[in-house]
Chain A
Amino acid sequence: MSNKMQFSIETKDLNLWYADFQALKNVTVNIKDGLITSLIGPSGCGKTTLLRCFNRVNERYGYVTTTGEIKILDKNIYDEDVSLPELRKAVGMVFQRPNPLPISVYENVVFGLRIHSKNRELSKAKSDEIVEKALTEVRLWDDLKDKLKTKATTLQLEQQQKLCIARLLPLKPQVILMDEPCSALDSEATLAVEELMRSLAGSYTIVIVTHNMAQARRVSDECIFMLLGEIMEHDRTQTIFLTPQNPKTADYIEGRYG
């Protein structure tokens, strides 16, 4: 592995303020390419905020100030020449509540491509192929191949969430950010989505925020523990859970606060 591609996301001295409340403090973190990294910590410690920095969605609020550097695939995403649509194409996001668009399953999957290609450039055969490939990749094809025309918002939650992941794939993202992707799902659906994440690891770099310690242990290769806007510890998941260096990490993992 060349040194250049070892990290998908690198941040240096990242600070973020909501008006005058500092939500991120000197966050310096390197997230390895092709792994699943979990982000844990008590409520309000800035996990979502950090995640939203990676595709610059935070900026939608006018009162947010950011300093520091975020490099994704070795490119500083705060550079002048960065186009937000292109950035968001490369860095996809999955939300806590599944948010399929109120159009058909088929159109949901090709939505991103249509947006990024000129009118009518996308042939029917091509898009059929893309839909099948993406749905197969998220293991929905067998369930949904006869329901491609149904409205996506009427699917079961688990299927909706998988569809939201499938929607990102035709754009060939390098990074997929997931903010508590399973917290609206029951335990069986959670396991199914986790399995899916494992199968996507390697092809994509995945960062997942979770409140579920067991889940962090099951799915992630590396784990980051945050507290009050700061990174307390970042290590291999096993190390964090078995031999944490920081006593606060141990306290949190053992459920003493959070």
Chain B
Amino acid sequence: MSINIATGADQGITVNRFTETAIVRRKKLAEFFARGVFLLMTLLMIVPLILIVGYLFYKAAPILSFDFIFSNPARGMRAGGIWAALLGTIYLVVISLVIAAPIGVMAAVYLNEYAKDNWFTRIINLAVVNLAGVPSIVHALFGLGAFVLFAGMGRSILAASLTLAIMTLPVIIASTKEALGAVPAAFREACWNVGATRWQTIRGIVLPNSVSGILTGIILQVSRAAGETAPIMFTGAVFYKAIEEGNVFAYGLLDQCMALSMHLFTISTQVPGVPEALPFGTAVVLLGTVLLVNAVAIVLRVYLRSRKRW
């Protein structure tokens, strides 16, 4: 009976079952188009990226040098380097990360591994998702009110870092939860069934198997913290501040600082007569800093993988 249905006689198109029919031709066409569109989109994404980076380097080339990195801006920001801004950005990113990453990861572990599914947990989860979507200018205002004024830190590296930490925290929690959730439940059951406690399960199996995803989420926040202008402008970054050149400990926690993102904004829009290469050089250094952090994270990831016992 089934044979009858499948033969060409009933379909009325062709007698041989294995030749191309109109339907197959249509499917092939659709396949061809789908593939083409996706390829096109990939190229559309990659081409601007290459153009941007290429253009940046091309414009920045005349100024990029050892001196540019290690000397302070000079002559009303129209000459000199970006040392004070580079060091400021590094301080802000590192301190905010040192605060946000451990808190975020531990909170995510609690929410994903320990918390019972009740109204309290659901409210927290909802809050995390919504906080992740709050615009950075709102965080800036909060930082100004909470850290600079209320806590009395004044406009300082500490206040700005805390503001950046508050801004990145919900996203780190969300991405870490995602990474933890991707660890198969069967692994956890296997652990519980030999009598492992939750903590033993988390340390022995869950974290080692999600560390890549967790780190990726954190790295993305590094780039975000390094690039934001509004939150630090309100809470601790200044237009100009000279520091000792080449001394990596030149800033104190309660000092104000320069930052690459804000410096870029200043010399591009606020100061007339800046040589064209200067903002481009600044942008290249900002990009380089972020890439460097990413590279460190990748090395860390490889190292953690190799330490796993198998």
Contacts and interface: CB of A to CB of B under 8 A. Distances in A.
Interface of A: 55, 57, 62, 84-89, 92-93, 95, 97, 99-104, 107, 111-112, 115-116, 149-151, 164, 167-168, 171
Nearest to A177: B193
A115 B308 contact: no
A1 to B, nearest CB: 28
Nearest to B197: A85
Given A62-B117, A62-B118, A95-B186, A101 B192 contact: no
8 contacts: A85-B196, A86-B195, A88-B192, A92-B194, A102-B310, A115-B196, A115-B197, A150-B310
B193 A101 contact: no
Interface string B242-265: 000000000000000000000000
Nearest to A112: B194
Interface string B199-220: 0100011000100000000000
B309 A107 contact: yes
A88 B309 contact: no
A201 B199 CA distance: 33
A101 to B, nearest CB: 6
B132 interface: no
A167 B205 contact: no
Nearest to B117: A62
Given A57-B192, A115-B196, A171-B195, A101 B118 contact: no
User: 3 closest A-B pairs (Cβ-Cβ)?
Assistant: A112-B194, A85-B195, A99-B186
B191 interface: yes
Contacts of A104: 309-310
B58 interface: no
B162 to A, nearest CB: 36
A6 to B, nearest CB: 26
Contacts of B209: 102
B106 interface: no
B193 A62 contact: no
Contacts of B192: 57, 88
Contacts of A171: 194-195
Interface of B: 116-118, 186-187, 189-197, 200, 204-205, 209, 308-310
B39 to A, nearest CB: 33
A115 B200 contact: yes
Nearest to B193: A93
Given A62-B116, A62-B117, A95-B189, A103 B194 contact: no
A102 B206 CA distance: 10
B195 A89 contact: yes
A102 B309 contact: no
A101 B192 CA distance: 12
A115 B310 contact: no
Central interface residue in A112, A149, A150, by most chain B CB within 10 Å:
A112
B310 A97 contact: no
Contacts of B116: 62
Nearest to B186: A99
Contact of B194 (A88, A97, A107, A151): A88
A82 B112 CA distance: 26
Given A115-B204, A151-B310, A102 B195 contact: no
B211 to A, nearest CB: 13
A186 B277 CA distance: 69
Nearest to A115: B196
A87 B192 CA distance: 11
A102 B308 CA distance: 10
A49 to B, nearest CB: 15
Contacts of B118: 62
Nearest to A99: B186
A130 B191 CA distance: 19
